[in-house]
Structure 1
């Protein structure tokens, strides 16, 4: 199996927000519509860039977070269509963030893709919901893209 290394080079004068806006404008200019809004969290900036690149190229709008606390805050304020998160992050883990999101009806139905190498099947069974997915690191870009597409297709109906 060949491992794909994705590198992301951004001109020194741009910020991550500039890059995000440029990807979004490219999608519109090329006639692609933005498919879904995703909030993604990982404490590794390189992984965040890969996740952003893969999902933006798939037509999604992506907001990035660097830890579990920021993830919870963003999800509660943004109400995205899906979440992609690592597990091992400073503060609280991705599983702890998922458990916290399950306590609020507004966020309980948002599907999660856990992109991690540290979650056991037992841990996943305790917190992840039917329809959530795990993508094991290191992952191929297509694995992440397909997992996000799958949780969006099988998304649980929003609770009233």
Structure 2
């Protein structure tokens, strides 16, 4: 009975595979949104002032960071929880894709969230002259600081756990 239960639990990891395929579809949706933002950015560049150009660039960078984050989650999650990906025969295979463990995934995930949060905060600061709500700005700073502190605490606890092994 124990062997059967363990086999079922081991096979159940494949339930996660559709989640990663769903993230690939979400990445395509993000690509569509990036294309839309890029088209808007290019077509309105002539009439835009410097701050609008910077905000447009920040929006594109934000979407790029988010896409990179999705890729990290797809590859690392699949490798760590479902099955190894055979990199043989793929000459341009990025080296990091088969080397990110769960602790590394958490750190990369939080670092990406901090970067995305920083971009949102920078956008808000760029819009100060357009009457950004001070309460909203305060909450953006608080949330960003929570992400930063969480990242430091996570890195610190991972470091402590490495020393104890």
TM range (shorter): under 0.3
Higher helix share: 2
Rg: which structure is higher? 2
Structure-2-length-normalised TM-score = 0.26
Higher strand share: 1
